[in-house]
Amino acid sequence: MTSRVVLLAVAAFFGRLDAASTELQIAAYDSNVLSASLTTTHDVVVRNRFLRTHTSTTDEEERGISTSAVESLTNSLKSTFTSQQLDDLLQKGNSVDDVFKLMSLDNAADGLLANPHLTAWIDYMKRFNKAQTVEKGVEKASLIAILTKYYGDDGVARIVEAAKKVSSTSRRAKNLEAEQIQHWLVKGKTPEDVYKLLKLDVRRYDLFDKPELATWVKYMDEFNKANPDNKATFISSLVNRYDEVSLTNMLMAAKEVPATEKLAVQMLTEQTQYWLEMKKAPRDIFELLRLNKEGDALLKSPLFSAWIRYTDDFKFAYPDETLDTMTTLLKYYLSADIARMSVEASKVPRTRSISDRIVLELFREWRSGGTSPAGAFVALGLKNAGTKIFEDPLFLTWHKYTAYYNSMDRSNKKVDEVFMLRGRFGDKRLSQMLMEAMNDQSMKSLAIDLQKQLLVRWRYFNKKPEKVFSWLLLDGTNANVDIRKLYDKYDDAYTNGEKLVF
């Protein structure tokens, strides 16, 4: 039963992941290049790219030849070899390898795609292949095959990444990259195979600095599109090569670099799903993700959101396990810090729901632990706020907790926050503080409500109107009109011996 629940949770996660992975998909061929140069055979390759990679294909497909990529390269670079020279080389029986080396293309490295001799060699390759069509059993040459022979899969990937950074070779590089990926697909290579071909399997901690990683990421996306029922994950190739702490540290470091942040976050998210299958406790994951080091930015961290989802999935998968999110947070952060971060997070639409959840969980933790509103007042550090208490954003948190506490209390002994404030500041000072708070639009409504409650309490204790008049600062020239109306109602109730009701 548990394994089925885990699978459901993982399936739900991958549904969320699909949207994020589109940002990593490779750029498609330029539409003009495709329409101008695709041959019938290459049409078959493109149509079959979404089939299982072990499906039988034609000889040309098996070699991964992309006519569009070859022709676009031919049209982009100016040849320095004449047509007659190429014919002479062909008549003398020179192979494509011979001519490749003759043109010193085997040592061109990062400058290969900008080398004008490459155009001449591609032209020669086409002539060579055309001449071989009459000879059955002779394998045709291909651009990707010859480049891989001399530079290796990883070398080609490095050449591509370097060329993509130069405007004059960027399009050719993208075409060649797509050609390399297509070549692997029709050869039935798995992402794990390609990981090794690119020599990324050597355990190293600069993985995200390797240009070959970008090629592997793009291949993973293409492989998963071609094999929707047998999708691979990035993390599956990494968990067997790195220990948990090392891998997490490496991913966390990559998350701090803008160029690798999205990929790192995606891999970290995949890692949490792997942990779910391994039944890793959320409190352990909290430390591995270094969320205990996030400080004031905790609730704004995408990793914290991922961790919250992980705790939910963990509860769903393992309902019998004891788990308390707030207990984990309170191990590393003070109540006041959590509350203050929640206030800041509530101002941002993206993190507002997280803020609401954390505040509610904090209230539940306090209530179940027997923390009274008086205890929460101290925990939030409000006793140090002095007469500026209404300017402290945590006052609203305390006000909400008092309401929550009373709503959960089945007895008639409700906590009166005005009674608590009056005992701390006295009638006159509290009234003056509330008058000042009314000048803040964000606090005005609450301040007036509290002032009404204070007036009700004064009427209960039968305070004389003259004293109330003074406490409300109505004897000055800047008397508050709204407060004057409240006083008039108080005065009427006092004069008529009635209970004050608002």
- DSSP labels, 269-286: HHHHHHHHHTT--HHHHH
Q: Is residue 104 part of a domain?
A: yes
pLDDT in tens, 76-94: 556 668 899 999 999 999 9
Instruction: Identify whether 13 is part of a domain.
Output: no
Look up the pTM and report it: 0.62
> Treating both helix axes as pointing N-terminal to C-terminal, what angle do 40-48 and 67-76 enclose, rounded to 10 degrees?
120
Classify residue 321: in a domain, yes or no.
Answer: no
pLDDT higher than 50, residue 21:
no
Mean pLDDT of 116-145: 83
Identify the domain boundary among 227, 259, 289: 227
The pLDDT value recorded for residue 76 is 52
Last residue of a domain, one of 188, 206, 227: 227
Mention every residue, 6+ apart, whose C-beta is less than 8 A from residue 96.
121, 124, 125, 128, 141, 146
Domain that holds residue 450: 419-502
User: What is the predicted pLDDT for the residue at 70?
Assistant: 43
Asked if residue 297 belongs to a domain, the reply is no
Give the sign of the dihedral formed by CA 218, CA 221, CA 227, CA 230. positive
Where does the pLDDT of residue 478 fall: very low under 50, low under 70, confident under 90, or very high at 90 and above?
low
On whether residue 462 sits in a domain, the answer given is yes
Number of domains the chain contains: 2
Q: How far apart are CA 439 and CA 425, in angstroms?
A: 20
Domain membership of residue 31 (yes or no) is no
Q: How many CB atoms neighbour CB 41 within 10 A?
A: 14
Residues 428-449 have a mean pLDDT of: 94
What's residue 25's pLDDT?
A: 32
Residue ending a domain, among 195, 227, 259, is: 227
90 domain residue, yes or no:
yes
201 domain-assigned: yes
